[in-house]
Amino acid sequence: MLVNQNVDAYDRKTGTYIVAYIDLLGFSNKIKAADQQLAMNKLHNLYTFSIDLTKDIQIDENKDIQFKIFSDNIIIAKKLSNEIFQRKRDIKSLLMCAGHFQELAASDSVGWLLRGGISIGQLFIDDAMVWGEALLKSYYLEDKIANYPRIIIEKKVVNEIKQDSQLCEFIRKDFDNLYFLNFLNDCYFCGQMLMNGFKKMQKEVGKGIDEKTYQKFCWHMNFVNSELDRKNDKKDRKYRLSMDLE
């Protein structure tokens, strides 16, 4: 006999979603730190502000973006339309949402790095649970592939958007031929807040930084500086990230 069979029709089904799985780096150390209450409040405000911002951006595609949050992990999911034009708008909405979250985390208001994965596949999501291959694939990209503070985009997503003149700006090809989310694509005049956010990260770890963390910091610094160089905004020319822990 099935659980609750007398009142449950057992008619739930998966749908086609684009899913971002994101993990904030080094958060276990923040939980153990003396200022863990501050870390918890920064995390709470990062989540709530990002969710509210998504709702405030008045485009139809943002209305049904779904969030699942547990500790230092966040799932962002968006159901995809079968109609080609609308499907691209749905994908753009998810990429923008994930990008804004990463940008805010790296800014001077928070000063944290993250990594993640984005994939397309079958998913079921409601208030009680998340289930499906899209979640498993995006988690795999974060856990096994990303390595650096980047959100890896699976080939299936890349193939859908690389020929679109607008959407292709959301992706960058890295030195290892993997594609990742360009979270600064629609961010302008952000050099100062990113520079100060990077200083905050370095201050938090101090001079005792290990090689693995140093490697992640360097990747983030090089990517942000390359994007600031590419945009070449006049107001941002004096702002660049630098490593002060040499």
Per-residue pLDDT of 57-73, as tens digits, reads 656 667 789 999 888 89
Average pLDDT, the chain: 91
**What confidence score (pLDDT) does residue 180 get?**
99
Phi (first) and psi of residue 179, to 5 degrees? -95, 140
**What confidence score (pLDDT) does residue 27 get?**
72
Is residue 182 pLDDT above 90, yes or no?
Answer: yes
Mapping DSSP to helix (H, G, I), strand (E, B) and coil, where does residue 13 land?
coil
More confident residue, 51 or 108: 108
On whether the CB atoms of residues 97 and 76 are closer than 8 A, the answer is: yes
CATH pick for 15-182 out of 1.10.10.10, 1.10.15.40, 2.60.15.10, 3.30.70.1230: 3.30.70.1230
**What confidence score (pLDDT) does residue 34 get?**
58
Domain ranges of the chain: 15-182
On whether the CB atoms of residues 116 and 110 are closer than 8 A, the answer is: no
Model pTM above 0.85: yes
- Spell out where the chain has E strands: 15-24, 66-70, 73-79, 114-125, 130-131, 151-153, 171-173, 179-181
**What confidence score (pLDDT) does residue 33 get?**
63
**What confidence score (pLDDT) does residue 31 get?**
64
More confident residue, 7 or 203: 203
Is residue 141 pLDDT above 70, yes or no?
Answer: yes
